[in-house]
Amino acid sequence: MNTKEIVMSRGFLTLALACAWFPNSFLCAQNDGTAPEVIDLNAKDVSMEWEKNIPYLDEAYISESPKNINDGIPVGTLAADGVNREMILAFALEIADLESERKDKTDSLLISHKGKLIFESYYRRGRQNLPHFQMSITKSYTAFALGRAMQLGYLTMEDLDKPVVDYLKEIDRSQLVKGAEEVTLAEALNMHSGVNLIRENIIKYNKNPELLKGQKQIQAYFTDSSPIPPAPRTFGYKPADPAMIMQVLEVLVPGTAEDFIRDELMGKLGISEYAWQEDTSGFPKSAAGSSFRSRDMLKVGMLIKDKGKWQGEQLISEAFMERAVSPISLGWGTNYYGYFCWHRMLNHKGEAYPSIELRGALGQFVFIFPEQDVVVVATAHGVMALLQEIPARIIPAFAQ
């Protein structure tokens, strides 16, 4: 009988016995060791293609007592009150099993409870110091950068109801399609701009990216779109909307949007080892293209849980943060959308629990379960199963 069979047949109450019998198993040997890292890492090199060259770990790293690495994240233990340790460890074991029929490609799983990191694990391509490439979570970071600008007085909540083109003075309004001048910041943040480029125009810009430099990018969206219907418009998930927000940020803040994000958002969170690719506009990408470490993703989740506060400082306007993570409109199914953030109601034993979620295609997630005071971060390559599995496996461990 192997370690997995022991655990699966008798439960993790027998973990100590399993470790005594199999001291070199991935589950036991890693708990007190140092988390795996990429050697000679330059965060600026990270991309989706670059990550494919990272070899799988020989053994998963699973820690019930994460180490304090002086990155601003308080640490605790999985044995804390109110946590079903066995449930969490059983889930981690399933993730780590390379022979599982799940075909799982999870790379990291981190959990904080009551403001402390109590569980940290890395699998396959996961490394503690690796900024994992982010798809649509980049949209969320873009929204929070605007919220930081609001906290610093560069705009107000009322300004969100002003048209996007009012901020972009280089836009030639005479060329805009009908309805373009009515699209507001709030509508763009909620994916309700109504912009719809026809295929021929998309091909044109792909072949001539110089036509999208600077504010020409938004000019193109508003000029070559089909006529934009009056509000309320339908939800439409597209890169045009976050691009509008990034361009408005560029004109609102002193210096550049890139500098502002680095100094006033990431810098304040103690995040320095990250990458953020440049868009064809010359500004930071906004729909996808950033790279962040799992622990730094956890900081963003903790920032959301604490309504825009980090270590006692209000980094993001509380009013903006509350709006950003609220269920403003229905996206699809039971998934509601705020300002580039998702919101669902989940059920466990007849009780409904809110779930605030940052999501990236192919597997990057930040979950905030407010009623359990829990933040979960997971990264993967090529799978979205965690979108359903994490709520199903984590909420029961904290909602006894």
Give me the long-range contacts of 155-159 (CB less than 8 A, separation at least 24).
155/252, 157/317, 157/319, 157/320, 157/323, 159/185
pLDDT at residue 400, rounded to an integer: 62
Instruction: Show the CA angle centred on residue 24, arms to residues 20 and 28, nearest 5°.
Output: 65
Which parts of the chain register pLDDT below 50? 1-32
pLDDT at residue 201, rounded to an integer: 76
The answer to whether 65 and 31 are in contact (CB under 8 A) is yes
pLDDT at residue 16, rounded to an integer: 37
> Could you give the CA distance from residue 382 to residue 103 in angstroms, rounded to a whole number?
10
> Could you give the CA distance from residue 64 to residue 78 in angstroms, rounded to a whole number?
5
Give me the long-range contacts of 27-34 (CB less than 8 A, separation at least 24).
27/3, 27/60, 27/62, 27/89, 27/92, 27/93, 27/96, 29/59, 30/59, 30/60, 30/61, 30/62, 30/63, 31/62, 31/63, 31/64, 31/65, 32/65, 33/61, 34/67
pLDDT at residue 27, rounded to an integer: 41
pLDDT at residue 94, rounded to an integer: 92
User: Between 1.25.40, 3.40.710, 3.40.91, 3.30.60, what CATH number should domain 31-136+288-398 receive?
Assistant: 3.40.710
Q: What is the DSSP track for 327-379?
A: --EEEETTEEESSS-EEEEEEETTEEEEEEEEEETTTEEEEEEGGGTEEEEEE
pLDDT at residue 46, rounded to an integer: 87
Give the residue range(s) of CATH 1.20.58 domains in the chain: 155-252
Q: Which letter does DSSP use for residue 95 in this model?
A: H
Per-residue pLDDT of 5-14, as tens digits, reads 323 322 333 3
Type of residue numbered 332: W
pLDDT at residue 351, rounded to an integer: 86
Give the residue range(s) of CATH 3.40.710 domains in the chain: 31-136+288-398
Q: What is the pTM of this model?
A: 0.90
Q: What CATH number should be reported for the domain whose range is 155-252?
A: 1.20.58
